[in-house]
């Protein structure tokens, strides 16, 4: 008969997490792997935990109170969790449950020593390891002691650190159960941890072994530094042997103590190289079984290894799938698009279907494979030049990969090399009519899309959309469109390079491009100032808006004095810009038209911080500064040798940059305009699936790819298990930081600036908009939470075009992600804001409210207080 409260380790596997917890399930699975030895033992199941907690009536009330506590209120979490632990530990174990555990001990050796280990159902999961969050007790001897420590393990589900960890990972306390693993104790000569991938770089070809004498508690507690062996391709490539003065050993009667290591052994390695290689070979077998890199706890007993735990390494960024067995180098799409958050499956597949180049998905992000471009000399030079101008960190990361001998193959150039960097921009006439024609063509194409899609539904809609995606790519890939975008960028580069060479002036184009005409994104920010001008003299409307929390507030304006005019102003803004939102490359993100309340805090900031007519004044002031800068530059050039030629060339380039640089933002506007049309049609299909009972809510379709959504509409069937797994995966992706560059070996590279010309303690970044400003840092992670005053400096992970309305009210900008020609940089220059982008961990290293100084010309940020 199967005992509901106790299961032998050899009776369970990784599918039984709900019964024996993550650790127990993994240990059971390990016993099934050929060549892997696991100490014998059993699991006290989660049914036992339910039996115990069901007998504690006050527990429900305490859990309710705990669920309402602010996760940052550490004292409240500490107090409530301690009460819950005391109650559980004080609950008597029922006789039948105690008897089941005692019988299991008798089978394995009643007087033997055991390790009693917590095994929660939310532990050792692919998305959250929970390493060290619950308790383990070593060398427990005798049935009474084992029962007592099983109770302590149950209670450890509610340690302060475990509760906090669950909150950070979005896991409900009530959804977690605790099993307990009871294993025969082993007394090792050495023990430690094996990582089957490099936990720092992510390289899957590298394994690292941490080793020390005695029990592993010495390493876990920090009592000693470990020996560290790095193993690659079957051999030790580096080793660091620590001085190990202490070790933890088992006491004969139970418990452990730390002892001094014999002085003659302290500098001896805990493992031989051969043992380290054998251990890694064993780890590779475990990794293959579980299908992902593992963090393995091991013990060395008489030259043989016992595995006492294996859990997934949850911090590694996933690698794009590839079946060709070749090396690949991938560049992040999100860093170029200023949106490094994970995307839902529908968003990923839609972007891939409408992109101009093939893309690969990993960790909810998109990457472009640049291996072949790097393999040929001309392709490599061109790629590094373009990417280096945009984001030097990407270039540095790629150059680091190129130092890996043989990783990127060398191929001959397949086509004549393009013009060398720094030559004249593409041969397109400097004529505003070119831009006007491109914008007109785009508007006509979007209008045609809106007309034609109205009659499409069901499977016919998806067929139509596939055709629409081709038109989408045709417009974006129009050679004239690409020439116009590049003309503005290349003119900017030309002006910065030549004016630094001739006049010694850095980033002169920043001022010369102020208030350039036709920039749809900077116009969007200024237009919201005009909306504020309508609302400012309407006190009832202002008061109403101050009470808006989210959602659609427009209907509420009708009953207010002046509400009609306010609504008309907001509606007009949404008609032009309502398709935009934060993270707009993901079609599943709510647009401003869908959630207009997102704009309310920005409107109120504009009402408070600006005088009427600010939009027009700001634009004209910028235009005058640019004209004055042009006059100044040309006058200084004419005073140089060969000055007339230099001045003439510069004047042509200034005309060229002001003609085309504003258009740099329009193709993105075209894309999101089309995306909003696509989304409205797809949501209508999602609503039909809800009405038919195929999905529970319309947002479920966001976790299907475009092709899967099409099939769901065709068949009226959805794999609900797939949707649930995708939701869980998407949640887990938020904990991952995407690298700028990723290799097929899993090595994640973010690049480095390699500068020594900044003050000590300053944060280094990329200068993208000239000037220096000092002020209060406002660290904003969500645009809807922005509360900015005039003179504040915005600090945030990234800014896509939807953040532009905030730019009109700030004095400077610092971001973690960005390049010279990404949207935040372009708009910062338009508005004349000193800006430094690509500042690693800026939103964590800079405190909200801290005074900082932004050096937009030299590319660093000083922390002043």
Active site residue 823: yes
Sequence-distant (≥ 6) Cβ neighbours of residue 353 within 8 angstroms: 466, 469, 706
Question: Residue 462 to residues 469, 590, 591: CA-CA distances in angstroms?
Answer: 10, 21, 22
Q: What region, left, alpha or beta, does residue 258 occupy, with left being phi > 0 and alpha being psi -120 to 50 degrees?
A: beta
Collapse the DSSP code of 810 into the 3-class scheme (helix H, G, I; strand E, B; otherwise coil) and give the result. coil
Q: Are 363 and 348 in contact (CB under 8 A)?
A: no
Q: Sort 515 into a burial class: Cβ within 10 Å, 0-12 / 13-18 / 19+.
A: buried
Question: What is the C-alpha separation between 513 and 826, in angstroms, rounded?
Answer: 9
Across-strand partners of 763?
Answer: 861
Q: How many helices (H) and strands (E) does the chain have?
A: 30, 26
Give the separation between CA 601 and CA 217, rounded to whole angstroms: 52
Q: Which of 9, 21, 15 is nearest to 45 (CA)?
A: 21
Task: Round to the nearest angstrom and report the end-to-end CA distance of the chain.
Answer: 68
Question: Quick check: 426 and 486 in contact, CB under 8 A?
Answer: yes
- Of the candidates 832, 833, 744, the one whose C-alpha atom is nearest the C-alpha of residue 792 is 833
Calpha distance 747→818 (Å, rounded): 21
418 vs 170, 336, 373, 423, 447, CA distance in Å?
A: 51, 23, 13, 10, 37
Q: Are strands 206-213 and 235-240 parallel, antiparallel or unpaired?
A: unpaired
Classify 471 as helix, strand or coil: helix
Q: Do 62 and 84 form a contact (C-beta atoms < 8 A)?
A: yes
CB within 8 Å of 775: residues ≥ 6 apart: 791, 792, 793, 811, 812, 851, 852
Catalytic residue among 149, 710, 823, 855: 823
For residue 626, give both structure tokens. 């640019």
d(CA 184, CA 430): 80
Q: Residue 505 has which token pair?
A: 């002036």
Active centre residues (catalytic): 823
């Amino acid at each position: 008969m199967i005992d509901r409260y106790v299961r032998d380790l050899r009776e369970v596997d990784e599918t039984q997490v709900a019964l024996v917890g993550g650790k127990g399930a993994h240990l059971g699975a390990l016993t099934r792997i050929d060549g892997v030895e696991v100490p014998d033992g059993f699991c006290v199941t989660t049914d036992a935990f339910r039996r115990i907690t069901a007998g504690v009536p006050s527990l429900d009330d305490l859990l309710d109170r705990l669920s309402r506590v602010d996760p940052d209120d550490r004292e409240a979490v500490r107090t409530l969790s301690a009460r819950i632990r005391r109650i559980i530990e004080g609950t008597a174990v029922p006789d039948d449950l105690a008897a089941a555990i005692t019988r299991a001990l008798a089978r394995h050796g009643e007087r033997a020593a055991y390790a009693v280990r917590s095994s929660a159902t939310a532990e050792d999961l692919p998305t959250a390891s929970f390493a060290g969050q619950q308790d383990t007790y070593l060398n427990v001897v005798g049935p009474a002691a084992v029962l007592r420590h099983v109770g302590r393990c149950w209670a450890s589900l509610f340690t302060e650190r475990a509760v906090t960890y669950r909150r950070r990972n979005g896991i409900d306390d009530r959804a977690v159960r605790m099993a307990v693993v009871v294993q025969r104790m082993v007394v090792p000569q050495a023990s430690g941890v094996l990582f089957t991938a490099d936990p720092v770089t992510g390289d899957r070809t590298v394994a690292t072994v941490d080793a020390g004498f005695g029990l592993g508690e010495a390493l876990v507690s920090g009592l000693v530094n470990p020996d560290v062996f790095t193993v690659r391709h079957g051999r030790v490539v580096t080793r660091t042997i620590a001085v190990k003065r202490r070790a933890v050993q088992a006491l004969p009667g139970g418990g452990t103590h730390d002892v001094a290591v014999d002085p003659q052994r302290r500098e001896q390695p805990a493992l031989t190289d051969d043992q380290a290689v054998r251990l890694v070979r064993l780890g590779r077998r475990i990794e293959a079984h579980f299908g992902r890199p593992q963090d393995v706890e091991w013990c060395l007993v008489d030259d043989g290894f016992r595995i006492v735990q294996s859990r997934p390494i949850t911090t590694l960024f996933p690698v794009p799938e590839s079946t060709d067995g070749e090396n690949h180098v991938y560049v992040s799409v999100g860093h170029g698009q200023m949106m490094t958050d994970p995307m839902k499956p529908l968003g990923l597949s839609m972007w891939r279907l409408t992109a101009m180049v093939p893309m690969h998905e990993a960790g909810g992000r998109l990457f472009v494979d640049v291996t072949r471009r790097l393999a040929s000399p001309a392709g490599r030079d061109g790629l590094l030049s373009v990417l280096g101008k945009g984001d030097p960190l990407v270039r540095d990361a790629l150059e680091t990969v190129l130092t890996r001998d043989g990783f990127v193959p060398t191929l001959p150039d397949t086509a004549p090399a393009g013009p060398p960097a720094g030559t004249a921009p593409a041969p397109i006439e400097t004529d505003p009519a070119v831009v006007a024609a491109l914008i007109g063509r785009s508007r006509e194409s979007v209008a045609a899309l809106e007309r034609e899609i109205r009659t499409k539904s069901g499977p016919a809609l998806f067929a139509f959309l596939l055709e629409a995606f081709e038109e989408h790519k045709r417009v974006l890939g129009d050679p004239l469109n690409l020439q116009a975008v590049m003309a503005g960028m290349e003119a900017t580069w030309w002006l910065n390079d030549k004016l630094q060479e001739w006049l010694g002036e850095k980033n002169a184009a920043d001022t010369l491009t102020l208030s350039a005409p036709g920039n749809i994104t900077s116009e969007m920010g200024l237009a919201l100032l005009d909306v504020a001008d309508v609302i400012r003299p309407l006190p009832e409307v202002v008061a109403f808006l101050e009470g808006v929390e989210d959602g659609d507030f427009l209907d509420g304006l009708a009953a207010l004095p002046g509400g009609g005019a306010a609504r008309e102003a907001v509606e007009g803004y949404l008609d032009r810009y309502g398709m935009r939102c934060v993270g707009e490359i993901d079609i599943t993100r709510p647009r401003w038209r869908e959630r207009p309340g997102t704009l309310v805090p920005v409107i109120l900031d504009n009402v408070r911080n600006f005088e009427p007519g600010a939009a027009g004044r700001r634009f004209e002031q910028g235009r005058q500064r640019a004209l004055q800068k042009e006059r100044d530059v040309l006058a200084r050039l004419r005073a140089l040798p060969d000055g007339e030629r230099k001045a003439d060339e510069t004047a042509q380039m200034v005309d060229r940059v002001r003609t085309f640089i504003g258009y740099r933002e329009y193709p993105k506007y075209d894309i999101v305009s089309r995306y909003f049309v696509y989304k409205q049609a797809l949501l209508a299909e999602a609503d039909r699936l809800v009405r038919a009972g195929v999905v529970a809510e319309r947002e479920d379709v966001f976790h299907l790819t475009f092709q899967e959504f099409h099939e769901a509409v065709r068949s009226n069937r959805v794999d609900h298990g797939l949707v649930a797994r995708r939701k869980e995966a998407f949640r887990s992706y938020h904990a991952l930081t995407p690298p700028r560059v990723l290799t097929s070996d899993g090595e994640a590279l973010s690049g480095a600036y390699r500068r020594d010309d900044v003050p000590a303690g300053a944060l280094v970044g990329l200068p993208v908009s000239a000037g220096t400003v000092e002020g209060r840092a406002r660290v904003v992670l969500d645009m809807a939470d922005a509360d900015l005053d005039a003179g504040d400096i915005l600090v945030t992970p990234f800014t896509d075009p939807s953040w532009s309305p905030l730019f009109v009210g700030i004095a400077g900008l610092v971001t973690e992600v960005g390049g010279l020609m990404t949207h935040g940089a372009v708009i910062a220059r338009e508005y004349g804001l000193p800006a430094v982008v690509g500042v690693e961990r800026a939103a964590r290293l800079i405190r909200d409210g801290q005074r900082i100084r932004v050096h937009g010309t030299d590319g660093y940020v000083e922390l002043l207080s």
